[in-house]
Amino acid sequence: MTILGISAYYHDSAAVLIEDGKIVAAIEEERFSRIKHDNGFPHKAIDFCLKSRDLEIKDVDYVAYYEKPLLKFERILENFIATFPLSLQPFLKGMPEWLDYKIKIESSIRRLGFKNKIFFVPHHYSHASACFLNSSFKESAILTIDGVGEWQTTGLWKANNNKITPLKRIDFPNSLGLLYSTFTAHMGFKVNEDEYKLMGLAAYGKPIYADKIRSIVDIKPDGSFRLNLKYFGFREGFRMYNNRFEKIFGKARSKKERIVRRHADLAASVQSVTEDIYFKTLNHLFELTGSSNLCLSGGVALNALANGKIYKKTPFKNVYIFGAAGDSGAAVGAALYVNNVIMKKRRNQPQNLYLGSKYDNNAIEDALLRYNLKFIKYDSERKLIDRAAGLLSKGKIIGWFQGGCEFGPRALGNRSILSKPNPKSMKKKMNIIKRREQFRPFAGSILQSEVHKYFEVPEKNHQSPFMTFCFKVKKDKSSTLASIVHKDGTCRIQTVNHDNGRYFNLIKKFFELTKIACVMNTSFNLKGEPIVETPDQAIEDFLKTRMDALVLGDYVVIK
């Protein structure tokens, strides 16, 4: 049985293909369109998924769409009526788009030539399915939490086998995701794109504005909350905040304005309040379910800083967060919901997220020749790994392009820029290459067998394969990991094992050479662009920057 999952028309449009319950292909539209967080219909992503399995659309049994468009349209209309006349201009601007295609998603799918049944899965059911049905748990508590789906912004669930049961929910306009995004916008960053910048900035400030935030958010002991809408503008206009909000928290920062201590303190404050709500909600969820297992999904579940504290702040013992926790991953969830819940088929846990496009040596060599680059081709993986690990051990920064590209927002070792995790100056060098703010932290990829020696993880064999947790770096390793230790002493980590293939072998060899089991890992892209998808894009970024070497498949280029 073949199911095509689709997400579109909000942000991070994507397509996924599932065969007999197994994810066989998945990719975001942005990788092909080169529009970051592309929200258009994922024509290219769908085409890739089908061609990767030598299929045509007529070979697909079912299509699963990640939300119910008419229910979402209902929310738009009701919100317009409730806030008229303030909402007139955004309503008039957005309505042609809605009437043209957003509520005609079925027509878009039919135009592909698809004639079988289409399932429209509620947004938060898609999120819940993406995390639980990809986990190894037979039963689990689930928290889905984001900006907004159709109406729902938060969902508390209990799952057992193929059954996912809703317990409690919070609806729009009360949204933890929109609260965080309001401060993202106030800080001069892009909503639905730069929330991670706010999270990174929080480490440089103190939560001195937390009480002021609580004065406009009514938080209950069970984690439920209500926003005082007098201070927010996202229902009525084009701004997330309004003048009343600025009277409390100060004038909004312009994009070009220098970041000062006040901005860091605001970031620390909203992070603190977010965590307060998060943990109250999770503790209540534990009371409702009694399960020691937890699955998390939705955009807020990408807050790795909060996730790393779950083990200490809640009774949950085992936590699974699907790597594509946002809307792209909801395409996976919708397809799995059809497969497992509706069709009652068996579950298959993915080993990794290397589900996207891949290029063989012929395509890579053609690209290298087009750019007239001198290269060395290695005839064995051992020799290639020896060369690449040797470069890293000498402090060189390398672009690393291997196998299928990762699904989701994180580079997990197939489309990455890599370096030693020390000295501290390596962070500045990498941020210059990436053309991004110096306050931004970097992640570390560490051998899973060694993770407990470097980080304060909850158990010796802790698994974080999708880079969704931050943990404190052990004091005796702070100098060893100087370039990836953030201001607050934490680091976002990716645990690496045999499932990571060549990337695992690279880090293992680096460990042999340096006695360090961890490398700095950041996504292979420059500011404002999606992660590279083709060898040509990798070469372009390599040539534009101060990267020292490029490893494409079996080929090495030294600058």
Classified as helix, coil or strand, 532 is coil
Report strand pairing: 518-523 vs 443-447. Answer: antiparallel
Say if residue 330 is in the same domain as residue 286. Answer: no
The backbone region for 393, taken as left when phi is positive above 0, alpha when psi lies in -120 to 50, beta otherwise, is alpha
Classified as helix, coil or strand, 27 is strand
Q: Residues 171-220: pLDDT tens digits?
A: 999 999 999 999 999 999 999 999 999 999 999 999 999 999 999 999 99
| CATH code where residue 336 lies | 3.30.420.40
- 371, with CB counted inside 10 A (0-12, 13-18, 19+), is middle
Domain boundary residue, one of 291, 307, 342: 342
> How many folded domains does the chain comprise?
3
What are the b/e assignments for 467-492, b being 16+ CB within 10 Å? bbbbbbbbeebbebbbbbbbeeebbb
| Ramachandran angles phi, psi of 468, nearest 5° | -115, 10
| CATH code where residue 427 lies | 3.90.870.20
Across all residues in the chain, what is the average pLDDT?
96
Nearest to 547 by CA among 426, 462, 421, 385: 426
Domain boundary residue, one of 342, 374, 404: 342
pLDDT lower than 50: segments of the chain: none
Say if residue 28 is in the same domain as residue 88. Answer: yes
Say if residue 532 is in the same domain as residue 403. Answer: yes
Q: Residues 458-501: pLDDT tens digits?
A: 999 899 999 999 999 999 999 999 999 999 999 999 999 999 99
Long-range contacts of the stretch 84-92 (C-beta < 8 A, 24+): 86/236, 86/237, 87/235, 87/236, 87/237, 89/237, 89/238, 90/236, 90/237, 90/238
Say if residue 511 is in the same domain as residue 369. Answer: yes
What does the angle CA 57 – CA 358 – CA 391 come to, to the nearest 5 degrees?
165
Q: Give the torsion sign (CA, 52, 58, 64, 67).
A: positive
Nearest to 242 by CA among 179, 178, 176, 182: 182
Instruction: Give a yes or no: residue 59 inside a domain.
Output: yes
How much is the pLDDT for 81? 85
Instruction: Give a yes or no: residue 158 inside a domain.
Output: no
What does the angle CA 430 – CA 432 – CA 437 come to, to the nearest 5 degrees?
100
Instruction: Give a yes or no: residue 152 inside a domain.
Output: no
Instruction: Give a yes or no: residue 150 inside a domain.
Output: no
Instruction: Give a yes or no: residue 83 inside a domain.
Output: yes
Say if residue 274 is in the same domain as residue 315. Answer: yes
Say if residue 334 is in the same domain as residue 377. Answer: no
Say if residue 409 is in the same domain as residue 528. Answer: yes
Say if residue 373 is in the same domain as residue 261. Answer: no
Say if residue 500 is in the same domain as residue 380. Answer: yes
* Boundaries of domain holding 251: 171-321
Read off the tokens for 315.
Answer: 């009774």
Instruction: Give a yes or no: residue 349 inside a domain.
Output: no
Q: Residues 251-261: pLDDT tens digits?
A: 999 988 999 99
The residue assigned the tokens 């579940």 is 301
Q: Residues 521-550: pLDDT tens digits?
A: 999 999 999 999 999 999 999 999 999 999
Say if residue 445 is in the same domain as residue 475. Answer: yes
Read off the tokens for 444.
Answer: 């570390």
Instruction: Give a yes or no: residue 141 inside a domain.
Output: no
Instruction: Give a yes or no: residue 414 inside a domain.
Output: yes
Say if residue 91 is in the same domain as residue 53. Answer: yes
Cis peptide before 423 (omega within 30 of 0): yes
The model carries a pTM of 0.96
Say if residue 411 is in the same domain as residue 537. Answer: yes
Q: Whole-angstrom Cα distance, residue 413 to residue 314?
A: 31
How much is the pLDDT for 55? 98
